[in-house]
């Protein structure tokens, strides 16, 4: 394409007419951008090509077009006067003028962008912070709610304990170790209320096992009265259990059962006491 570091005139003429393959056109443009001599020759070639406008059928546009153009300009001027600085962005893409330079190619932003964009960013940041804060507050509230619920349950348990211990018809049953077992315990049972409170001192439960309390009624099978699991919130190992009201008990016993307990006693008795 080039001759002595310049683009041949014929190539510039072909480019000015249009239709040159994209790659060739890009190479030519890159050279012209840095070569004043070729840029001048290209401008001349464009001028020659522009002569073709004189060869077409000459027509005049409707008179209303000029009026529309002036109206557009008036509207734009009114807009610029309302928003004096800077110039609003053009409505259509502009492909340049007589080498208007980089500054002309830079699209000016509407003035309100200088307010709207930072404000939008600030709003987004504030929203993010508030969202995070809201999340933290929600977490704290949930913890508080759970703590309050635990306290409530503890209070109910304490009230029941007090109610059972204070009741005149509550009986006390002492638990003694069964054969080859160790430990001791005590049961407070109120048949009317169908509740019992108990505590026990027992060796560490074997792995995979749980201690389970049973009410042995005068009639029928033993009734599950709960597992002796450690309660982290309880200050002492005191367990409260609900059983069917008005059940006559003839004994209480603690057995070793698989973890999670059994519906009926299956393991060895460790503590037992008769009413």
Partner 1 sequence: MPEILRGRWFGRHALPHIRSSSKRRIITKEQSRNSDEVNTAGTSSSATSDWSLLKRIARKEEEALSALYDRYSGLVFSTAKRVLQQTGEAEEVLQDVFYQLWRTADRFDPAKGSLAGWLLVAARNRAISKLRRKTHQSGELDEDGVHLAVPLESYAAQNLLLEKVRAVMASLPDGQREALEYAYFEGMSHSEIAEKTGQPLGTIKTRLRSAMEMLKKVLR
- Closest distance to partner 1 from the beta carbon of 5 (Å): 20
- Closest distance to partner 1 from the beta carbon of 24 (Å): 9
Stretch that binds partner 1, among 91-99, 185-193, 201-209, 212-220 (CB under 8 A): 91-99
Does 1 help bind partner 1 (rule: CB under 8 A)? no
End-to-end CA distance of the chain: 115
Does 73 help bind partner 1 (rule: CB under 8 A)? yes
Does 81 help bind partner 1 (rule: CB under 8 A)? no
Closer to partner 1 by Cβ: residue 84 or 179: 84
Does 58 help bind partner 1 (rule: CB under 8 A)? yes
- Closest distance to partner 1 from the beta carbon of 35 (Å): 12
231 vs 154: CA distance, rounded Å: 11
| Category of 169 on φ-ψ map: left (φ > 0), alpha (ψ -120 to 50) or beta | alpha
Stretch that binds partner 1, among 92-100, 148-156, 231-239, 258-266 (CB under 8 A): 92-100
Q: What is the dihedral of CA 113, 115, 121, 122, to 10 degrees?
A: 180
- Closest distance to partner 1 from the beta carbon of 128 (Å): 40
Residues 186, 228 contacting (CB under 8 angstroms)? no
Q: What angle do CA 104, 105, 108 make, to 5 degrees?
A: 80
Which position among 4, 95, 106, 235 is part of the footprint of partner 1 (CB under 8 A)? 95
């Amino acid at each position: 394409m080039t001759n002595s570091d310049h683009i041949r005139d014929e190539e510039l003429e072909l480019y000015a007419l249009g239709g040159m393959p994209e790659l060739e056109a890009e190479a030519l443009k890159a050279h012209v951008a840095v070569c004043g001599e070729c840029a001048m020759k290209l401008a001349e070639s464009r001028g020659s090509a522009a002569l073709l406008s004189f060869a077409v059928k000459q027509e005049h546009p409707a008179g209303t077009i000029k009026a529309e153009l002036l109206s557009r300009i008036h509207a734009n001027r009114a807009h610029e006067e309302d928003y004096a600085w800077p110039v609003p962005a053009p409505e259509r893409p502009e492909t340049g003028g007589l080498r208007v330079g980089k500054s002309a190619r830079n699209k000016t932003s509407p003035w309100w962008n200088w307010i709207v964009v930072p404000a939008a960013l600030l709003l987004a940041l504030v929203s993010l912070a508030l969202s995070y804060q809201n999340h933290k507050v929600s977490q704290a509230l949930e913890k508080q709610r759970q703590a309050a619920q635990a306290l409530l349950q503890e209070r109910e348990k304490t009230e029941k304990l007090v109610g059972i211990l204070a009741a005149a018809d509550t009986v006390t049953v002492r638990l003694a170790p069964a054969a080859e077992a160790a430990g001791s315990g005590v049961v407070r049972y109120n048949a009317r209320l169908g509740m019992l409170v108990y505590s026990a001192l027992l060796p560490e439960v074997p792995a995979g096992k749980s201690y389970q309390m049973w009410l042995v009624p005068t009639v029928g099978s033993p009734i599950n009265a709960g597992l002796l699991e450690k309660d982290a919130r309880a200050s002492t190992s005191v367990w409260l259990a609900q059983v069917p009201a008005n059940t006559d008990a003839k004994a209480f016993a603690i057995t070793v059962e698989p973890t999670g307990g059994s519906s009926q006693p299956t393991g060895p008795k460790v503590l037992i006491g008769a009413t």
